[in-house]
Amino acid sequence: MTNNRKEMGRKIVLSKAVRDDFEQLQRKLSIEFKDVSLLYNAFTHSSYVNEHRRKKYTDNERLEFLGDAVLELGVSKFLYMTEPLMSEGELTKLRAAIVCEPALVSFANELEFGRYVLLGKGEEQTGGRTRPALLADVFEAFIGALYTDQGMEVVTAFLEKVVFPKVTGGAFSHVMDYKSRLQEIIQQTNTGQLHYEVIEEKGPAHAKEFMTVVRLDEKLLGTGKGRSKKEAEQEAARHAIVALKSGQVEE
């Protein structure tokens, strides 16, 4: 493996307050970097490097490149293991939604990554700390740094805390047609009819929440919530598929 110090360039010299912030971040994540310079580098934006050229710092773009590939591998393996009924096309579509910029930004914001980014003064003044592309890049760079420092097993453990629960919790249901998948599963083994029913509707007109059930004839297969009837039906179908795969419902 390439020597980290050579790869990273000169190690970043940070103030005690900033070092303390990164210590706090590691405690919050329950991760302790063996080479903390990798962590610093993951949060170093090119604008910071440009303002400290004499110190020959390195920005996070190379770690971002690596993290992008590592993240895609981790998500691919997770989907392959947990979604045996999905086709290659469906897996690709779902993976793309999980690793796209808006999703990465939501992960970064949940972890408050923006507050730790090392920015140049100009980038700071123009709101760079909350810029979506910057936050997505930092998340990928962090994955790259963690992989370089501790390997894929630790990266997977991190994803199991931050990313995978969102997938199993239905955060990406909108990109998949679970109703069609459920229909295909049922048609293979049953002759009954699927039907969806809204059993509860609450909230003001601008923020409605629907609860929907899906049944095979009279047998309850799944329940789902959503901000629209369509979203609730998709979530109910997703839960039904999970229940059928786990044997909680007889097909």
Distance CA 143, CA 161 (A): 13
Has 153 been annotated as catalytic? no
Has 20 been annotated as catalytic? no
Number of residues written out for the chain: 251
Of 64, 83, 140, 233, catalytic = 140
Phi–psi pair at 198, nearest 5 degrees? -80, 120
- Please write down the long-range contacts of 232-235, taking CB distance under 8 Å and 24 or more positions apart: 232/198, 233/179, 233/196, 234/173, 234/174, 234/176, 234/177, 234/178, 234/179, 235/170, 235/173, 235/178
Of 59, 64, 68, 231, catalytic = 68
**DSSP per position, 155-210:** HHHHHHHHTHHHHHTTTTGGGS-HHHHHHHHHHHH--S-EEEEEEEEES-GGG-EE
Provide the residue type at 13 as one letter. Answer: V
Q: Which residues are catalytic?
A: 68, 140
